[in-house]
Structure 1
């Protein structure tokens, strides 16, 4: 008798359709909320990468039009412009290098390289060897201005992205002079 009541209650509970929408909502709303937040974070990350690349191209273009020698004050000013143009929520770093190619040895070499920030970590010849395949082919005597930016994107909401490096690598040929000169004074 008690077993029949339990079986009857179990069958009626199984066949009862009331409340299924509420249960489905409780299951699906967190997933939909996470998906909405993830889309917002991915869009913001794409926007940050886009503004960072545009800022790097702008700085590269500014340097390519420069006819006077640049110094650390000039690089610091250009770095401030980069920080204003980029939508990263952290302050990035900027490295500018002038590279040439020696056709006799078949190797690229540095004219100069400097980086903004507390420690000047300019490119070295070993760094240049590692990035050789990313550089365009140059003719003898031609110079190339290489602008690299280093920044980190941190998502405003934790949706599993974490931090993403937003580094750029932009090269431009000098436009109005044979090369971009460095002034140590």
Structure 2
């Protein structure tokens, strides 16, 4: 008798197990719970990487625009106020609450020392980086700058954006940078009237046309 009851119980639970295994009730909820985090991560990752790319391309456009504006001013003497205005214009192009910085440097070639020289350098007031000097110029950019002859100058324009991703999906906070090299449009050099700048190096007269008068 007990054996028959035990056998009936086993058959009952086996049938219940088979029915539960074959049942599809609630499967959509389970699949949603499993797949939703993956879909959410994919959406956030797509938004984050697209946002980073947008900031990078906008920064590039603003740097090239700033370089073009300054290079076309080679017929007149620049003032700190003018370059501050260029920086403000750059901020409007980027249109972001993130920190954006600008550094513009006019460089020449010293034939005697066979290295580049900083003629003048400007950095926005909020920039933690100092203005460029000869040591950093040759160490960081010496291999990238095309050769120029004595008397020529190049305008080195640098942009930096401290990017903060909206979501943590594998992309960490980083500095986005862009660099543009342009030649002065209408004169060998560009004069920068900065009352706070240190006196120009004596070597100017040796490698830049009319440098002592700039």
TM-score (norm 2): 0.78
Could you say which residue in structure 1 is the equivalent of 2:35? 28
- Are the equivalent residues in 2 in contact too, given 1:68–1:180 (CA < 8 A)? yes
Unaligned runs of 5+ in 1: none
Say which is worse superposed, 76-85 or 95-104, in terms of deviation: 95-104
1:180 and 2:187 are equivalent in the alignment: no
Could you say which residue in structure 1 is the equivalent of 2:47? 40
Could you say which residue in structure 2 is the equivalent of 1:157? 167
1: distance between equivalents of 2:115 and 2:129? Answer: 24
1:144 and 2:154 are equivalent in the alignment: yes
Unaligned runs of 5+ in 2: 1-5, 196-214
Q: Secondary structure at the match of 2:143?
A: helix
- From 81, 94, 100, the equivalent of 2:108 is 100
Q: Secondary structure at the match of 1:167?
A: strand
Aligned residues: 185
Could you say which residue in structure 2 is the equivalent of 1:169? 179
- Are the equivalent residues in 2 in contact too, given 1:100–1:111 (CA < 8 A)? yes
2: distance between equivalents of 1:184 and 1:174? Answer: 19
Deviations 1:72-128 (A, max 9, x none): 212211110110001433231111101111234321111111211156711112211
1:111 and 2:119 are equivalent in the alignment: yes
Deviations 1:50-73 (A, max 9, x none): 111100000000011002121221
Say which is worse superposed, 6-15 or 75-84, in terms of deviation: 6-15
Could you say which residue in structure 2 is the equivalent of 1:134? 144
Aligned-residue Cα RMSD (Å) equals 2.0
2: distance between equivalents of 1:59 and 1:160? Answer: 32
Higher Cα Rg, which structure: 2
Q: Secondary structure at the match of 1:38?
A: helix
2: distance between equivalents of 1:127 and 1:88? Answer: 29
- From 77, 82, 94, the equivalent of 1:69 is 77
